[in-house]
Amino acid sequence: MESSNHTASIIGGLLVGALAGVTLGVLFAPRKGRKTRSNISNGAQDVAHDLKRQIKTQAKAFRRKAKDLENAAKEKVDGVKDDIKAKAEAL
């Protein structure tokens, strides 16, 4: 268990270091500030677009599952109604 925590902390440290390196590399790249800001802005817009698309996809899947559950519940209720009706007629 302790070894697993140590490994996770090493990997976490490497990821944070890599992210910091990339960030500093972009900020200090030999491009004009306008170009760098444009690249950062375009990257952020791409991420936002992808996130929006994923949210829409997940929302569609959620609606589909909700509709399936609604239909299953209706079928179950109809089955129970039919059973009650049959038992009432038998009495």
The pLDDT averaged over each successive group of 10 residues in the chain (91 residues) is: 68 81 74 75 84 90 94 95 89 78
Q: Rounded to an integer, what distance in angstroms lies between the CA atom of residue 83 and that of residue 58? A: 37
CA distances from 7 to 13, 20, 59, 84, 88 (A): 10, 20, 36, 61, 67
Q: How many residues does the chain have?
A: 91
Q: Can you give the pLDDT at residue 87?
A: 87
Tokens 């976490």 found at: 12
Phi (first) and psi of residue 73, to 5 degrees: -65, -40
| pLDDT, position 31 | 65
pLDDT on residue 3: 64
